[in-house]
Structure 1
Amino acid sequence: MKIEEYLSTLPSNILSGEEIQIPPDSIREIFRFAELGENDVFYHLGCGEGASLSIARHEFNVKSAIGIDNSKKMIDNAKKSIEDNNISDIKLIEQDILEADLSDASVILCWFMDPDIMENMMKRFEKLRDGVKVITIWAPLPGCLPQKVDFPYIMNETPFVETDDLKKQLLAVFETECIGFVTAWEFAERYTKSIGRDNPQNDRFLVIIQALTIWINAKNLGVACGEEMPESIRSYIAILKEYFDIEIEHLLK
């Protein structure tokens, strides 16, 4: 089957990132990356069970932490966890993030893989006051160049630096002049490690998928290293086809 068909068999909330909980150690890395501190008002859009809010208040001493999620189950779990740990100045809101009031935010964590969600959120982000940091994972905000990158963590700060050049955006994220197999594999491993999962034995499969996706996107944009397909890329394409019945080569333009 084609990779698109395989992805369509996965739960939509997994593809969008809605129910993937970021591990605590990765949350701490994100906060250090964002230089989160006592003067910040931190928002987590799609906060899940609220681990980021507790860490932001308890360990990084932010002024306040606000979590927004459209799942009643997640909000209820987050409230219980925060009450059990007796942490103050945390607010939880059961709400569609597209309706959220972000006017007092200074740092926003927003990780959704669904491009429609991110495109719609841009209308809200563009109204933010200057100096607000928006942290994403894997990709920058649509149509924007990042101001800071420690892949897979990416920062865009208002006012955003806009671009319609996907090639320029890709190279800004990977901070290199061209993308080869080694770069694609390294960054795929970083991403897989950062999001963590309940079944880490499948990490290698995810790294293969992500590395091939990175390289193919680079090739299609003309920023892959060299003209020919690396033998390692060819081998992993064959492995996906033979052992998983997943075809990905058709994505090459």
Structure 2
Amino acid sequence: MPDNALLQMFKLADLKKSDIFCHLGCGQGKAVELAAKKFGVKKALGIEIDEKTAAVARRKVARLKNAEIVTGDILNANLSDVTVVLFWFSDPAVVDAVVKKFRKELKSSARVITIWSPPGLMLPQIVDFPFFVCKKPFKYATSVRQQIKAIYGNKCIDFTAAWMLAERYIDALGVVPGEYRRFVNILQSMVIWINAWNMGVTCEDGVPPPVNAYLGILREFFSIDMKDLFTREPKEESMTPLVPPADDKMGCCE
């Protein structure tokens, strides 16, 4: 995670010197270090289950009196004093368990920063895609469609929205070299659209021509077959292979 993305998230959450910050799954501790040094928080805590990775993070913050790295399972972390949490996991079981901890342990007004989507069906108070801030007491949507509408102002996601969200995600993280940007945009937008399709929240009834085209390009020229990502069967007639001419094999990603 680059510093500029972390800075953007911390400013979005209004991280202050009086805050106790915790990064669940802190990796090598960059967020913990930045919260402690740049924002001067009262305490910056990182929880990391992998001992070797935690050791790297511990060395990184060794000279900071207001920073600490703990080796352990995030589900066993004590969050009772924490006022700002950074949490970025996609496993539904882990997300559900951590959301229960948030409800039980976090103080009122505590803020939860997430990337890509709010945790579970939470409704965020602040949105600057791909970053979200949810504040306790938490509010919840009753369905994914309701959550999408509350966040984006539309109850469904079409190909154009998937492409633009992928673009914003790439720009926000800023880690994709320019020569690969187009390819990553194609790949990420396909992941977004397919996930939306599987959840039944795409605006299209079938696979639209642009999605079909890019799936064909990824399959034919990059050996990336994404058909197994479809857990909800598309209409057969909407999955006709659509591949660019042979003399334009690399035109999509120049």
- Normalized against structure 2, the TM-score is what? 0.80
Query: Given the alignment of the two structures, is residue 28 of structure 1 paired with residue 19 of structure 2, yes or no?
Result: no
- Percentage identity across paired residues of the two chains: 36
1:133 Cα deviation after fit: 0.7
Which residue in 2 is equivalent to 1:144? 122
How big is each residue's C-alpha offset from its partner over 1:90-127, in whole Å with a ceiling of 9 and x where there is no partner?
Answer: 11111100000000011000101222211111221111
Structure 1 68/82 Cα, relative in aligned 2: closer, same or farther at 3 Å? same
Q: Which digits, 9 at most, give the CA deviation of each residue in 1:117-156, with x for residues without a partner?
A: 1111122111122111111111211132222211111112
- The letter of the residue matching 2:38 is E
* Secondary structure class of the residue paired with 2:61: helix
The secondary structure found in structure 1 opposite 2:27 is: coil
Structure of larger gyration radius: 2
Contact 2:2 2:173 in 1 (8 A): yes
Alignment of 1:54-93 (within 5 A): 54-83=33-62, 86-93=63-70
Give the number of equivalent residue pairs.
Answer: 230
Shift of 1:199: 7.5
What CA distance in whole angstroms lies between the structure 1 residues aligned with 2:163 and 2:210? Answer: 10
Return the alpha-carbon distance in structure 2 between the equivalents of residues 44 and 150 of structure 1.
Answer: 19
Give the partner amino acid of 1:87: L
Aligned to 1:46: 25
Where does residue 182 of structure 1 map in the other structure?
Answer: 160
CA shift in 2, pair 1:96/1:78, >3 Å: same
Provide closer, same or farther for how the CA distance between residues 250 and 77 of structure 1 changes in structure 2, counting only shifts above 3 A: closer
SS of the residue aligned with 1:101? coil
Structure 2 contact 148–156 (Cα < 8 Å) conserved = no
**Cα distance in structure 2, aligned partners of 1:238 and 1:198:** 23
State the secondary structure of the residue aligned to 2:151. Answer: helix
Judging changes above 3 Å, is the alpha-carbon distance between structure 1 residues 66 and 200 closer, same or farther for their aligned structure 2 residues?
Answer: farther
| TM-score of the aligned structures, taking structure 1 as reference length | 0.80
Matches within 5 A, 1:189-200: 189-195=167-173
Question: Is residue 101 of structure 2 the alignment partner of residue 159 of structure 1?
Answer: no
Shift of the 200–79 alpha-carbon distance from structure 1 to 2, 3 Å rule, reads: farther
Q: Deviations 1:172-224 (Å, cap 9, x if unpaired)?
A: 33344543322211211222344565877655444323312322344455654
Where does the alignment leave 5 or more consecutive residues of structure 1 unmatched?
1-21
For the residues of structure 2 that align with 1:215 and 1:245, how far apart are their CA atoms? 16
CA distance in 1, matches of 2:130, 2:202: 19
Distance 1:72 1:219, change over 3 A: closer
- Give the superposed CA RMSD: 2.4
| Aligned residue runs from structure 1 range 116-135, under 5 A | 116-127=93-104, 128-135=106-113
Aligned to 2:149: 171
CA contact (8 A) 1:184 1:211 kept: yes
Deviates more, 1:123-132 or 1:92-101: 123-132
Aligned AA (1:68): I
Q: Partners of 2:180 and 2:48 in 1: how far apart?
A: 28
Q: Does 1:105 align with 2:89?
A: no
Pick from 206, 220, 224 the counterpart of residue 242 of structure 1. 220
Q: Which has the higher contact order (CA 8 A, sep 6+)?
A: 1
CA distance in 2, matches of 1:207, 1:173: 21
- C-alpha contact 1:140 1:173 (8 A) present in aligned 2: no
Contact residue 23 and residue 194 of structure 1 kept, 8 A: no
Find the aligned partners of 2:194 and 2:139 in 1 and give their Cα distance: 26
Give the Cα–Cα distance (whole angstroms) in 2 for the partners of residues 219 and 250 of structure 1: 8
The gaps in structure 2 that reach 5 residues or longer are 234-254
